[in-house]
Amino acid sequence: MERCIGLDMGYGFIKVDDGREGHVFPSVVGEGNSGMPLSLGVGPRQESNELRITYNGKNYLVGEHAIRHSRIAHRGLSPTRAEGDDLKILFLAALSLYSRETVNNFYVVTGLPPGRMHMADDLVRQLRGDHEIIRQTGASRFGVSIRLERIEVVPQPVGTFWSEVLDSRGQVRTDHPLLRGRVGIIDVGFRTSDFATIIDGEYSPAFSKTVPIGISFGYEDVAQKLATEYGLEREQYALDDAVISGTVHVSGRPVDIADLRDEVFGDISTKLLVEARSLWQFQEYDHIIITGGGSRVVERYLRPEMPQAQLANEPVTANARGYYAWAYYNMQGGSETAAGGSDHAASSQQKPAESEAFRGGYESGGGSYRSGDQSDEPYGANRSSSGFE
Q: Give the number of domains in the chain.
A: 1
Domain that holds residue 61: 3-161+318-373
Assess if residue 337 is contained within a domain: yes
Taking CA atoms, 86 is separated from 62, 65, 79, 230, in Å, by: 10, 15, 13, 32
pLDDT score at 250: 83
Higher pLDDT, 279 or 247: 279
339: in domain: yes
Virtual torsion, Cα 342, 345, 346, 352, nearest 10 deg: -80
**Is 196 part of any domain?**
no
Q: Is residue 98 part of a domain?
A: yes
Q: Which pLDDT tens digit goes with each residue over 28-39?
A: 998 877 655 555
Bridge partners (DSSP) listed for residue 17? 6, 22
Q: Among 87, 84, 109, 94, which Cα is nearest to 146's?
A: 94
Q: Report yes or no on 148 lying in a domain.
A: yes
pLDDT of residue 251: 83
Per residue in 265-289, pLDDT tens? 889 999 999 999 999 999 999 999 9
| Least confidently predicted of 48-57, 89-98, 178-187, 323-332 | 48-57
The band of 46, judged by pLDDT with boundaries at 50, 70 and 90, is low
pTM over 0.95: no
Say which range, 32-36, 243-247, 307-311, has the weakest mean pLDDT.
Answer: 32-36
Q: Is residue 277 part of a domain?
A: no
pLDDT single digits (tens) 91-145 = 999 999 999 899 999 999 999 999 999 999 999 999 999 999 998 876 678 899 9
Residues 29, 66: contact at Cβ < 8 Å? yes
Lowest mean pLDDT of 69-78, 113-122, 166-175, 206-215, name the range. 69-78
Q: What pLDDT was estimated at residue 355? A: 27
Query: How confident is the model over 60-72, as a mean pLDDT?
Result: 82
Task: Return the pLDDT at 368.
Answer: 72
Identify the CA nearest to 109 among candidates 9, 188, 1, 193: 9
In eight-state DSSP terms, residue 79 is: T
The stretch 193-208 carries a mean pLDDT of 97
Residue 211 pLDDT more than 50? yes
Does residue 245 lie in a domain region?
A: no
Contacts of residue 315, defined as CB under 8 A and 6 or more positions apart, other chains included, come to: 160, 290, 291, 292, 293, 295, 296
Amino acid 271: pLDDT: 95
Task: Please report the pLDDT score of residue 340 as a whole number.
Answer: 39
Instruction: Dump the DSSP string for 92-140.
Output: HHHHHTT--SSEEEEEEEEEE-GGGGGGHHHHHHHH-EEEEEEEEETTE
Helices (H) and strands (E) in the chain, counts: 9, 19
Percent of the chain with pLDDT over 90: 51
Residue pair 32/60 in contact (Cβ under 8 Å)? The answer is yes
Is 168 domain-assigned? no
Instruction: Look up the CATH number of the domain holding residue 329.
Output: 3.30.420.40
> How far is residue 110 from each of residues 137, 239, 347, measured CA to CA in Å?
26, 27, 10
